[in-house]
């Protein structure tokens, strides 16, 4: 599936912020959105998840503020579309969260909210969460961050 719409997991932003191993892929996604080659959607809870990680890992308030303001700037410039999940997204997320089993475990509801948003918007959920991917790959609309741009050209 080739799509120009992507739902980004909070961990994609954290790759960028903390300059982790997939930092270049995270930067590429943001750059592609800035250049209007793709659309980025995120559920509103992504902001809370990012803020929570910054709260626990950054002692420098100014640095945390810089990162949060950058994300806000991306939203204000319509590079990043923040979506408050409606009941349709929430019901789909519940459906996804109930698909696991005791052997592999059950998908986390928060991850399912991202994934449901992708499914219902004909987008691709980009995440670093290998466990979530394994639990819900049968639903499609999901891709590892490391594979971003492998199918786009």
The pair phi, psi for residue 140, each rounded to 5°, is: 70, -165
pLDDT in the model for residue 32: 94
> Any idea what the CATH number is for the domain that residue 127 is in?
3.40.50.1010
- From 47, 6, 59, select the one nearest 30 (Cα to Cα): 6
pLDDT in the model for residue 7: 97
3-class secondary structure, 80: strand
Which structure tokens are listed for 3?
Answer: 């799509």
Give the structural domain span for 129: 5-147
Residue 141 lies in a domain: yes
Q: 58 has which bridge partners? A: none
Provide the CA 57 distance to its chain's centre, in angstroms: 20
Give the helix/strand (H/E) hosting 15: helix 10-17
State how beta strands 142-144 and 124-127 pair: parallel
Residue 152 lies in a domain: no
Please count the structural domains in the chain: 1
Residue pLDDT tens, the chain, 153 long: 456 999 999 999 988 888 888 989 999 999 999 999 999 999 999 999 998 988 887 677 888 888 889 999 999 999 999 999 999 999 999 999 999 778 878 899 999 999 999 999 999 999 998 888 888 888 989 999 999 986 554
pTM of the model: 0.89
What residues contact residue 120 under an 8 Å CB cut-off, 6+ apart? 88, 89, 92
Which structure tokens are listed for 126?
Answer: 């980009």
pLDDT in the model for residue 20: 86
């Amino acid at each position: 599936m080739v799509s120009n719409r992507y739902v980004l997991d909070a961990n994609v932003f954290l790759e960028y912020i903390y300059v982790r191993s997939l930092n270049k892929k995270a930067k590429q996604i943001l750059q592609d959105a800035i250049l209007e080659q793709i659309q980025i959607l995120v559920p509103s809870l992504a902001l809370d998840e990012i803020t929570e990680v910054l709260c626990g890992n950054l002692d420098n308030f100014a640095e945390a503020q810089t990162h949060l303001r950058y994300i806000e700037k991306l939203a204000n410039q319509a590079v990043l579309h923040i979506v408050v999940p409606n009941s349709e997204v929430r019901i789909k997320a519940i459906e996804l969260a109930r698909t696991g089993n005791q052997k592999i475990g059950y998908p986390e509801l928060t991850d399912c909210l991202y994934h449901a948003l992708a499914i219902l918007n004909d987008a691709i959920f980009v995440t670093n969460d290998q466990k979530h991917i394994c639990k819900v790959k049968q639903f499609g609309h999901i891709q590892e961050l490391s594979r971003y741009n492998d199918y786009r050209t």
